[in-house]
């Protein structure tokens, strides 16, 4: 995941940008400051990701942004060997991981940085690594040290 050009290295395509309605702008702003922020519904209290203009649980249209602990457990993973873009060719294999941050409420997806070889331990604790690029900060993940 080295940052050679100021762009995330795994895509040659468009970069994330806040939706026209601005609903997800606080997420990207928080990542820039190395925080993991999610929406919390003002009515039912559930937290959700990705951001949306309504609560997926109760359909309320009012929510607030809250920080959550940038840590979780490894929910699933896939090690990519076949590069899909020219920019990926130098970085395979790389690992895509799904992380349970708040089980039942917040699950996120990123890359597992410095993964060990072989099968990866689903259920193991992971913590966030904030990867800064010129235009965007990506929330990545690493296996937590034993006892973390």
Partner 1 sequence: MSERTLSRHVAVVGVGESAYHKRGRAPQDEQGLALDAIHAAIDDAGLRPEEIDGFASYSDDRLDPLALAVALGLPELRFTNMVWGGGGGGVCAAVANAGAAVVAGLADAVVVVRSLAQGGFRFGQALAGLGGPALSGSMAYVVPHGLMSPAQTVALRTRRFMHEHGVGQDVLAAIALACYEHAQHNPRAVMHGRPLTREAYDGSRWIVEPFHLYDCCQENDGSAAVIVTSAERAADLRHVPVLVLGAAQGTRTGFDLFGHFSDPYATANFELPARHMYEMAGLGPGDVDVAQVYENFTGAVLMSMVEHGLVDPEEVDDVLTPENLLWTGGLPLNTSGGNLAECYVHGLELVVEAVRQVRGTAVCQVPDAEVALVAGGPAAAPVSSVLLGR
Handedness of CA 143, 98, 52, 3 (dihedral sign): positive
Instruction: Please tell me the count of residues contacting partner 1 according to CB under 8 A.
Output: 42
Q: To 10 degrees, the CA torsion angle through 86, 109, 35, 63?
A: 130
We find the least distance from the C-beta atom of residue 111 to partner 1, in angstroms, to be: 5
Interface mask toward partner 1 for 29-58; x: CB under 8 A: --------------------xx-----x--
Please list, in sequence order, all residues whose beta carbon lies within 8 angstroms of the beta carbon of residue 42, skipping any fewer than 6 positions away. 60, 62, 63, 64
Residue closest to 16 by CA, chosen among 3, 34, 35, 29: 29
Q: Which of 44, 58, 66, 78 binds partner 1 (CB under 8 A)?
A: 78
The tokens of 8 are what? 């995330």
Q: Which of 17, 43, 45, 134 binds partner 1 (CB under 8 A)?
A: 17
**Site for partner 1, residues 113 to 132, rule: CB under 8 A:** 122
Q: Is 16 in the site for partner 1 (CB under 8 A)?
A: yes
Q: Is 94 in the site for partner 1 (CB under 8 A)?
A: yes
* Angstrom distances, CA of residue 29 to CA of 22, 45, 129: 11, 22, 15
Q: Which of 29, 71, 98, 102 binds partner 1 (CB under 8 A)?
A: 98
We find the least distance from the C-beta atom of residue 40 to partner 1, in angstroms, to be: 16
Judged on CB neighbours under 10 Å (0-12, 13-18, 19+), 21 is exposed
Q: Which residues make up the interface to partner 1 (CB under 8 A)?
A: 8, 10-20, 24, 49-50, 56, 75-82, 84-85, 88, 91, 93-94, 96, 98, 104, 107-111, 122, 136, 138, 140
């Amino acid at each position: 995941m080295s940052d050679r050009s100021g762009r995330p290295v795994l895509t040659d395509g468009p970069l994330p940008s806040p939706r026209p309605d601005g609903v997800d702008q606080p997420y990207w702003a928080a990542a820039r400051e190395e925080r993991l922020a999610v929406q919390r519904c003002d009515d039912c209290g559930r937290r959700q990701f990705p951001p949306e203009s309504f609560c997926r649980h109760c359909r309320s249209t009012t929510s607030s942004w809250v920080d959550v602990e940038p840590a979780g457990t490894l929910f699933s993973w896939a090690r990519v060997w076949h590069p899909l873009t020219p920019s990926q060719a130098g970085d395979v294999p790389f690992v895509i991981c799904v992380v349970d941050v708040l089980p039942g409420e917040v699950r996120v997806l990123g890359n597992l940085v410095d993964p060990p070889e072989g099968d990866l331990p689903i259920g193991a604790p992971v913590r966030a690594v904030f990867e800064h690029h010129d235009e965007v900060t990506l929330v990545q993940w690493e296996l937590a040290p034993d006892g973390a």
